[in-house]
Amino acid sequence: MVKPKIAPSMLSSDFANLASEAERMIRCGADWLHMDIMDGHFVPNLTIGAPVIESLRKHTEAYLDCHLMVTNPLDYVEPLGKAGASGFTFHVEVSKDNWRELVQKIKSKGMKPGVSVRPGTPIEEVYPLLDDENPVEMVLVMTVEPGFGGQKFMPEMMDKVHALRKKYPSLDIEVDGGLGPSTIDLAAAAGANCIVAGSSVFGAPDPAHVISLMRKSVENAQTN
> What residues are designated binding site for substrate?
9, 67, 147-150, 178, 198-199
CB burial readout 192-221, b (16+ within 10 A) else e: bbbbbbbbbbbebeebeebbebbbebbeeb
Nearest Cα residue to 64 out of 112, 117, 99, 20: 112
- Measured CA distances, 129 to 36, 150, 222 (Å): 22, 30, 25
Phi, psi at residue 92, to the nearest 5°? -65, -30
SS3 percent helix, strand, coil of the chain, rounded to 5, is 45, 20, 35
Binding residue positions for a divalent metal cation: 34, 36, 67, 176
Q: Which one is catalytic: 36, 39, 65, 172? A: 36
Would you list which residues are annotated within the binding site?
9, 34, 36, 67, 147-150, 176, 178, 198-199
Give the other-Cβ count within 10 Å of 32's Cβ.
Answer: 21
Gap between the Cα atoms of 204 and 182, Å rounded: 13
CB atoms within 10 A of CB 160: 25
Is 176 catalytic? The answer is yes
**Which of 75, 159, 176, 206 is an active site residue?**
176
| CA gap 199, 22 in Å, rounded | 15
Q: How many CA atoms lie within 13 A of 212 on its CB side?
A: 7
Q: Is 31 a catalytic residue?
A: no
Q: Which residues are catalytic?
A: 36, 176
